Amino acid sequence: MKILVVGGGGREHALVWKIAQSPLVSKIFCAPGNPGMAGLADNVPLAVDDLDGLLAFALREKIDLTVVGPELPLSLGIVDRFEAAGLKAFGPYQNAAIIEASKAFSKDLMEKYDIPTAAYGVFSEIAPALDFVKQLGTPIVIKADGLAAGKGVIIAQNFVEAEATVHDMLGGNAFGAAGSRVVIEEFLRGEEASFLALTDGQKIVPLASAQDHKAIFDGDLGPNTGGMGAYSPAPVVTEEIHQIAMEQVMRRAVDGMAAEGRPYRGVLYAGLMIDNGRVKTLEFNARFGDPECQPLLMRMKSDIVPLLLAIANGDLGDLAIDWHDQAAVCVVMAAGGYPGDYLKGDEIHGLDTAAAISDLIVFHAGTAEKNGKVVTNGGRVLGVTGRGDSVKAAIAKAYEGVRVIHWNGAQYRTDIGKKAL
């Protein structure tokens, strides 16, 4: 089989790494890919939103399966376009990808189908939005309705912050069109977990539990990012919580989407807030989480390709997933200044040393090649991912890798996975 992976970040590097292990696969392409994938895939210089270019390439190369990583091409309808041209693609259709592309749609779906979530309101004008903030009180969560690369969520600690955020978003200064409508919701307390499942629109196969770290600084302080690290399994997802998540969140979401005439197939990601045995849904995403994908795929024992192909064909059958008993932890190394303005083009040192460490994979996220050197080319640069017999051992392994890699201004959290201990 020839496979095309669309995307160029850490999630896509992890997908390429896992797909390359399948005996079913003869050739992998990645568009646009990154230097970390060299040797596993041929990188193709096509942007993820260049649907015409991607389709032409897939037809020319007779691609057997296209695996779409990021949310942007899904929201633009890449799966619909490929299927119309007779090609198989893994991911939700455009009308189902709206579950991530519009937070307002997602919240309305949760309310309609009794999926537990926070109280909320949807606003496109400043005055009623601020009235709602006063009604709910602070701290309060303000979200840009559209896609904002994981950064469109602000937790305002007081009314002054909330007012500034609402003016910023609805005034068009923050997140552009994505923030032209906002979702404002009550602040939930508890511990966050990521719950991912594969679905063909009817059957649901859960992935192992995982937990992300959104804030830039240790102790979950500072602004939100696309994710500074993740680990799997997440002890907060007990058997009881798992059952609640499957029955009250995933099952109701998949059935609800079908009832809305938007059958959902692909990977469905629910961000959950867990507090004293109660589960509430923070958000849905229409793709693998990044960085959750990295530790999850390091723990996945099964061949991923039959699963992806079965979903592209619309029938999971009786396929299940086997997991390694070991834990895995991903620590994101980011550019200085991220998630604000950051520099690009700094040479990364120590990658060869890290590559020699057993049970450690360095997944490239924001890297490029320049004059034969690997340099920084994004906010989140690397996902250093270790595996061990326990979360504690996996943490130690990941940071063993982090310690040998450096570039000017590199930053990372030192407490990834500590919640699990």
pLDDT at 168: 86
Question: Would you say 91 and 97 are in contact if contact means Cβ atoms under 8 Å apart?
Answer: yes
pLDDT at 153: 86
Per the structure block, which two tokens stand in for 359? Answer: 């049970």
pLDDT at 169: 87
pLDDT at 180: 76
What does each C-alpha distance from 213 to 204, 356, 417 come to in angstroms? 26, 27, 9
> What is the spatial distance between Cα 269 and Cα 206, in angstroms, rounded to a whole number?
10
Question: Would you say 394 and 38 are in contact if contact means Cβ atoms under 8 Å apart?
Answer: no
Q: Residue 184: how many CB atoms within 10 A of its CB? A: 25
pLDDT at 176: 63
Question: Can you give the chain as a three-state secondary structure string?
Answer: CEEEEEECCHHHHHHHHHHCCCCCCCEEEEEECCHHHECCEEECCCCCCCHHHHHHHHHHHCCCEEEECCHHHHHCCHHHHHHHCCCCEECCCHHHHHHHHCHHHHHHHHHHCCCCECCEEEECCHHHHHHHHHHHCCCEEEEECCCCCCCCEEEECCHHHHHHHHHHHHCCCCCHHHHCCEEEEECCCCEEEEEEEEECCCCEEECCCEEECCEEEHHHEEEECCCCEEEECCCCCCHHHHHHHHHHHHHHHHHHHHHCCCCCCEEEEEEEEEECCEEEEEEEECCCCCCCHHHHHHHECCCCHHHHHHHHCCCCCCCCCCECCCEEEEEEEECCCCCCCCCCCCECECHHHHHCCCCEEEEECCEEEECCEEEECCCEEEEEEEEECCHHHHHHHHHHHHHHCECCCCECCCCCCHHHC
pLDDT mean values, one per 10 residues, the chain (421 residues): 98 98 98 95 98 98 98 97 98 97 94 96 91 91 79 86 89 66 92 96 97 94 92 96 98 98 98 95 96 98 98 96 97 96 96 98 97 97 98 98 97 95 88
pLDDT at 178: 56
> What is the spatial distance between Cα 162 and Cα 147, in angstroms, rounded to a whole number?
20
> What is the spatial distance between Cα 117 and Cα 355, in angstroms, rounded to a whole number?
42
pLDDT at 179: 56
pTM of the model: 0.93
Domains belonging to the chain, first-starting first, are 2-91 (3.40.50.20), 119-186 (3.30.1490.20), 191-312 (3.30.470.20), 327-420 (3.90.600.10)
Please, which residues have CB within 8 angstroms of residue 18's CB and are 6 or more apart in sequence? 297, 300, 304
Q: To which residue do tokens 């041929």 refer?
A: 42
pLDDT at 354: 98
pLDDT at 409: 95
